[in-house]
Amino acid sequence: MNPMKRKTRNMKRKIFSQLGFTQHQISEMTNSISFNKTIKPASQRFSAGFTIIEFMVYFAVLAVLGGSVSVLFLWTLQAHTKSQVLQETTSSAQLAMDGIMHEAREAQGLYLATTTLAQVSLETSSATVAGETLGYIDFFLCDNALCIKREKQAPLALTPNTVEVTSLAFTAISTDTNFPSVRISMQVRHKNPNNRPELEAVVSITSTVSLR
């Protein structure tokens, strides 16, 4: 036994003896004090440790769940944005194509002098100027937009500023004076200056129209 512990034990015995306790009672009380001091109930020894572990597990589960929910939310948001961007780009391309085809169906003929691979010129009665029976409508690219220009008027963009026309081609399939036909090919891309994946959308569209 450690000398300090032996000295302390002897002092306890001496104090108990002075208080009138018998030698047997002194031994029992000394042993009881030593036992209580060195041995703690299992519930006291382990309750604090289990509480810390439980909190660690609890927060770990919360962190995993929170991270999973955040990833799922971001993925859903990006998928929704990409779907909207693709729908908008497709709609813009289709509306531009419909505009060309509508004017072509109403036109009387192709003006071959200014019809090229990058531009189509239509002779039509819907764009006449004073003193003339026929006028001209041109479709071409201007600053990455599909533009229409009526005679004596400034060009007007048919595509919104959220998209850009990356390619446009007009091919005369038939130059028959009665029923000329033109094939129109166009590629439209959603503007994405920061190269964000969810804003990337490219739509290619091709149609053939016969003039009346």
- Residues 134-152 have pLDDT tens digits of 889 999 999 899 999 998 8
Query: CA-to-CA distance for 24 and 170, rounded, in angstroms?
Result: 118
pTM, 2 dp: 0.64
Residues 116 and 161 in one domain: yes
Does 57 map to a domain? no
Residue 36 has pLDDT above 50, yes or no: no
Residues 90 and 35 in one domain: no
Kindly state the tokens that stand for 125. 């009665």
Domain ranges, residue 75 = 63-210
User: Could you give the number of structural domains in the chain?
Assistant: 2
Does 56 map to a domain? no
Residues 95 and 161 in one domain: yes
Given the DSSP bridges, would you call strands 181-190 and 119-124 parallel, antiparallel or unpaired? unpaired
- What pLDDT digit, counting tens, does each position of 39-70 carry? 455 555 444 455 787 778 878 888 888 888 88
Residues with Cβ < 8 Å from 89, sequence gap 6 or more?
163, 188, 189, 190, 201, 202, 203
Q: DSSP per residue over 125-136, as a string? A: GGG--TT-S-EE
Q: DSSP per residue over 83-128, as a string? A: HHHHHHHHHHHHHHHHHHHHHHHH-SEE-TTS--SSEEEEEEGGG-
109 and 97 Cβ atoms separated by less than 8 Å: no
12 and 32 Cβ atoms separated by less than 8 Å: no
